[in-house]
Each structure stands twice: as structure tokens, then as C-alpha cells.
A = this chain, B = another copy of it.
Amino acid sequence: MAAEKPGATQLGKQVGIPDSPETAQLDRVANPHADTDYVARFTAPEFTSLCPVTGQPDFAHLVIDYVPGAWLLESKSLKLYLASFRNHGAFHEDCTVAIGKRIASLIEPKFLRIGGYWYPRGGIPIDVFWQTGTLPKDVWLPDQGVQPYRGRG
């Protein structure tokens, strides 16, 4: 069980899928090691949104790494926030970066990066990689290690 503590206003309640990213509430909780630089990684292989042009479903595997400052990202609210894209139109490049920015704006991390690995459309998948700036000195941040797309064979 990940950090779910004071500040986690949706914790312990049954909460439906938010109607849109705008209305989804993303929560933060106090970082128990606020004096220490470390990385927390969330891996979310269950992301789906809609294509703004055709209305058809899109799917992605998302990986979010961050170095917390005063706050940790509350994991249940992250799940609900990601689920809020379910019936929401989003372009691949834009959506991935926007998710990263929304989280960064809430938790004010020392560093954050997001990798979006989208399922292929037209035979050519798009991956998107964004980070907020310079990784603080002496922080260990491994590769995300997501397999590249291969086609068949």
C-alpha cells in the first residue's frame, strides 16, 4: 500500500470515475522523508483516452518518476485522475506532457519526468518523454526500461 494519509481526501471512500481531467481531484500527502532526495516511480499500464478527431479509444502505458519535495503524490487520487481521461479527447504529445505538468504543479517536486508509450495507430506508435529540468545532484534515477515497439515477427 502506497502513501495514503492525511491529505488523501478520497481515501477510504468509494469514488466514481471523474467526468474529466478538469474535475478530477489529485491529492498530495506529506513526504515522510522531506529532508532526503529520492525517487518514487508510478507505472500505469492501464491508461486510455479518446482520439479528439475520430472519437475512437487510444491506449497508453505511462511511467512517472519524481523526486518529492514537501509532498508525495497520493496514489489513489492518481488512479482516479488517470481514469478521468477515459471519455476525454486527447492528442498523444499534448496529453502526456499535460499530465506531467498537472502533477508537477500540485506536488511541486524537485524533479519530475513522464514517459508515455502509446499503442500503435497507422502502424507507427508515438512515445513522449518529458522532464521538468535538471535532476538534483546525487539522485539515482534508473531507466524506465519500457520495451520498444517491434511490429511482428
Contact = CB atoms under 8 A, between A and B. Distances in A.
Contacts of A130: 36-39, 140
B123 A79 contact: yes
A76 to B, nearest CB: 7
Contact of A45 (B33, B58, B79, B149): B149
Nearest to A43: B149
Contacts of A32: 91, 93-94, 97
Contacts of A110: none
Nearest to A126: B2
B141 A38 contact: no
A44 to B, nearest CB: 5
A44 B87 CA distance: 20
Given A144-B142, A152-B146, A127 B41 contact: yes
A7 B80 CA distance: 29
Contacts of A76: 122
A38 B130 CA distance: 5
Contacts of A146: 148, 152-153
A46 B151 contact: yes
Given A86-B86, A131-B138, A1 B152 contact: no
A142 B123 contact: no
A65 to B, nearest CB: 8
Considering the complex of A and B, which 10 residue pairs feature the smallest CB-CB distances, nearest first? A1-B51, A45-B151, A61-B153, A38-B130, A41-B127, A39-B129, A45-B153, A145-B148, A32-B94, A43-B149
